[in-house]
Amino acid sequence: MSAAAGGEDGQHAPSRSPSLRERNREAVVDADAVVVDGDEPPSARVPLSRERIIEAAIAYIDEHGLPGLTMRRLGTTLGVEAMSLYRYVAAREDLLDAVVETLVDEMERDADVITSPEHGWQDFLQRLAHGVRRIALSHPQAFPLVASRPAEAPWLRPPLRSLRWVETFLAGLHAEGFGDEAAVAAYRAFTSFLLGHLLLEVSALGADVGPLDILSDSDDKSLEPYAHVRRLAPFLKEDHSAVEFEEALENLLDRVDLIRTEEHRSS
């Protein structure tokens, strides 16, 4: 049924992606400027580096999907044989871990995300949530990795799965007067809210435009037994992800507020 679609993507991947190449070159030039500061051979081949490989991997996943990412194809993309990559990454698995880490850290360079509350904890959490959402939406193919890679510890919950972000989160709430248990409870609620929404949003983006999508305009026989689905099709097809996100975020903030004040009473 859906096999044909799936079988396709693992095969040929013509690597015509000028923008990718440019981005890499740019990134490396930046790095050199900082480190070597002025004596790089002018027209020499840009050398490989871990960062360059990871960036290329993210770009490749964004363009061709995760299953399309192959050490050999990634090598070709970088103008190099696959074996060369192993100087910088231990294995494909290691590369995928690095991709997740880089994605999560991308928020640090997001100007709208602040690292400690300036206008109250609600604003703080709102910026954090929107920052993660921006990442998810700009890397819809790669984002699911953030959820599916095994975490380093059970309490390092996706999508805020780095020590640094957990620290930022807890420190922020602490500074805003949250008690210890309340901060942790808020962290838990926040992560599961974010993960559910963003994964769903991202999965909707990648949904097959299959036979079920024609469902609205006619009485498709395959929908025969599903009267309610058919009747509600117009509503189901509407995309409310943005407002849904805002509403759920509001609700979450209310819950967090409850958590906060409840703790004040009891402990």
Q: Does 166 bind its own copies (CB under 8 A)?
A: yes
CB of 60 to its own copies, least distance (A): 18
Taking alpha carbons only, the member of 64, 168, 164 closest to residue 121 is: 168
Q: What's the CA gap between 266 and 218, in Å, rounded?
A: 58
Site for its own copies in 95-114 (CB under 8 A): 97
Among 164, 177, 242, 261, contact with its own copies (rule: CB under 8 A): 164
Q: What's the CA gap between 178 and 259, in Å, rounded?
A: 9
| Buried/exposed 46-78: b ≥16 CB within 10 Å, e otherwise | bebbebbbbbbbbbbbbbbbbebbbbebbbebb
Could you say which of DNA, its own copies, none residue 47 binds, taking C-beta under 5 to 8 angstroms by partner kind?
DNA
Site for its own copies in 10-69 (CB under 8 A): none
Stretch of residues binding DNA (CB under 7 A), selected from 56-64, 71-79, 224-232, 236-244: 71-79
Could you say which of its own copies, DNA, none residue 218 binds, taking C-beta under 5 to 8 angstroms by partner kind?
none
Q: What is the 3-state secondary structure (H, E, C) of 57-80?
A: HHHHHHHHCHHHCCHHHHHHHCCC
Q: What's the CA gap between 114 and 122, in Å, rounded?
A: 12
Print the binding letters for residues 172-211 with its own copies: x by CB under 8 A, - otherwise: --x-----xx-xx--xxx-xxxxxxx-xx--xxxxxx-xx
Among 61, 157, 186, 249, contact with its own copies (rule: CB under 8 A): 157
CB of 88 to DNA, least distance (A): 7
Nearer to DNA, 93 or 112 (CB): 93
Structure tokens at 136: 């998810």
3-state secondary structure of 103: helix
Q: Does 91 bind DNA (CB under 7 A)?
A: yes
Point out which residues bind DNA (CB under 7 A).
Answer: 7, 10-13, 45, 47-48, 69-73, 75, 80-84, 86-87, 91-93
